[in-house]
Structure 1
């Protein structure tokens, strides 16, 4: 294949690492004005989607250290993008909920990240792009099982339901 060093054509670690590095580098540039860059973007996205109820769940889903998560959420609260609100099911717990400003900033940032994705996936045809994304979803889904429905519960609360 063109552009690949000899001996690395079948090295999964190297191949996925190259794609990851290219995406991280370009998306960091696209998100340079977003508080906490990519990490902040992912936290706000998790808050909007409701896939995690609190900092601990978010840190697990996003693969971030719990202590880093505290400082990250603090920064996003200070920027007005998320807020900590009492969990109606457990007052000791605080939910991380996106503000209207957070939702607006996320929409703008998501458009920029989508442009990064399009540039990165440009060598693939339309059907191949979707198949690649589907395969990634299968791999990630296999690692992020949600047997207790936490994402659905958090989404309902984030939308004002119980």
Structure 2
């Protein structure tokens, strides 16, 4: 290729065409993933935040409301409303902590566990569709590489908290 008759040297650098391509690709994928996941879990009380709460409650030891708020990077007063909605929908219950009578643990109900299974299937489907242009082996490789890279830089290995922060437009590193 030439510019005004002067030959342009061939690229010898294997870097992307522009330096920000990696960030651009991640941003495009995260934006699309966030929109699709929001639609997939939209029938859950509080949508994606409700999904994050339910996921954390089902997958971990029954957390206290305060620890759940801290873990997900959600203000405690907002967490109260989120849990109230989940309780009203029969997804979780507040139970007295056996080691501290003043504290309440948030525990999933059977209905909450079943709903999370359904929602997880929807989210998996979103991810499959989003990466559908890649062969299955490459999708699996991409998942492994992204997890390895994220684990290498995460200040907080709590995937729920990192995802919650990123979905709010943060850096992916909760305070």
| TM surpasses 0.5 | yes
- The count of residues paired between Structure 1 and Structure 2 equals 140
Which residue is equivalent to 2:72?
A: 62
Which residue is equivalent to 1:122?
A: 132
Which one has the bigger helix percentage? Answer: 1
Q: Is the counterpart of residue 15 in structure 1 residue 25 in structure 2?
A: yes
The Cα offsets for residues 60-116 of structure 1, whole Å up to 9 and x where unpaired, read as: 332322222111111111111111111122222211111111111111111111110
Which residue is equivalent to 1:80?
A: 90
Relative to structure 1, is the Cα distance of residues 16 and 63 closer, same or farther in structure 2, using a 3 angstrom cutoff?
A: farther
TM-score (norm 1): 0.74
Q: Is the counterpart of residue 48 in structure 1 residue 52 in structure 2?
A: no
Superposed CA RMSD in Å reads: 2.3
Residue 32 of structure 1 and its aligned partner are, at CA, apart by 1.7
CA contact (8 A) 1:80 1:102 kept: yes
TM-score (norm 2): 0.69
Which residue is equivalent to 1:133?
A: 143
Structure 2 segments unaligned to the other structure (5+ residues): 1-16, 159-175
CA distance, structure 2, for counterparts of residue 87 and residue 116 of structure 1: 37
CA distance, structure 2, for counterparts of residue 132 and residue 51 of structure 1: 30
CA distance, structure 1, for counterparts of residue 143 and residue 61 of structure 2: 19
Which residue is equivalent to 1:156?
A: none
Residue 17 of structure 1 and its aligned partner are, at CA, apart by 2.0
